[in-house]
Structure 1
Amino acid sequence: MSLWVDKIDPIELRSNATEDEKQAVIRAVYKQVLGNIHVMESQRLTSAESFLKNGEISVRQFVNIVAKSDLYFSLFFESSSPYGFIELNFKHILGRAPQDQAEISEHVRICNEQGYEAEIDSYTNSDEYIQNFGENIVPYPQGTSTVVGMKNVTFNRTFALERGYATSDRNKPSRLTLDLAANMGTKITEPVSVSGPYSNTIKRFEISVTKTGIGPVVKRSATTYTVSYEQLTSKINSIQKTGGKILKITEVA
Structure 2
Amino acid sequence: MPFGPASLLGVERFAEESEAPLELIPGDDDTKKEQMIRAVYKQVLGNAYVMDSERQVIAESQFKLGEISVRELVRRIAKSDLYRTRFFDNCARYRFIELAFRHLLGRAPVDFNEMRDHAERLDSKGYNADIDSFLDSNDYQNTFGEWTVPYQRGWKTESCGTMQEFTWCFQLLRGNSSSSLKGDLAGNSSKLGGAAYQNRPIAVVPPSSLEATGWSFRPAPNLQNAPTRLGVGAGDQGMTYRVEVTAYSANNLRRISRYTRSNRVYYVPFDKLSEQFKRIHREGGKIASITPVT
TM-score relative to the length of structure 1: 0.74
**Superposed, which structure 2 residues align to 1:178-193 within 5 Å?**
178-189=194-205, 190=214, 191-192=216-217, 193=245
Which whole-Å CA distance do the structure 2 matches of 1:73 and 1:55 have between them? 26
Contact kept, 8 Å, 2:24 with 2:148, in 1: the verdict is yes
> Pairwise mapping of residues 85-124 of structure 1 onto structure 2 (< 5 A)?
85-124=96-135
What pairs with 1:127-206 in structure 2 (closer than 5 Å)?
127-143=138-154, 145-170=156-181, 172=187, 173-189=189-205, 190=214, 191-192=216-217, 193-196=245-248
Taking the aligned partners of 1:15 and 1:69, their CA distance within structure 2 comes to 27
Task: State the distance in 1 between where 2:112 and 2:43 align.
Answer: 24
Q: CA deviation at 1:80?
A: 0.5
Cα RMSD after superposing both structures? 2.2
**Identity across the alignment (%):** 39
Cα offset, 1:148, TM superposition: 4.4
Counterpart Cα distance in 1 of 2:129 and 2:106? 19
- The number of residue pairs the alignment matches comes to 202
Q: Relative to structure 1, is the Cα distance of residues 148 and 68 closer, same or farther in structure 2, using a 3 angstrom cutoff?
A: farther
More helix by share: 1
Q: Given the two structures, how large is their TM-score scaled by the length of structure 2?
A: 0.64
Partner residue, 1:30: 41
> CA shift at 1:95, angstroms?
0.3
Shift of 1:144: 5.6
Q: What corresponds to 1:217 in structure 2?
A: none
Structure 2: distance between partners of 1:49 and 1:194? 39
> What do the CA deviations read for 1:128-177 (whole angstroms, capped 9, x no partner)?
00001010111111136444432122122112211133321136222112
State the match for 1:2 in structure 2: 3
Greater relative CO (CA pairs within 8 A, separation 6+)? 1
Distance 1:36 1:65, change over 3 A: same
Consecutive unaligned residues in structure 2, runs of 5 or more: 7-14, 206-213, 218-244, 251-258, 263-294
Q: Is the 8 A contact 1:2 1:156 kept in 2?
A: no
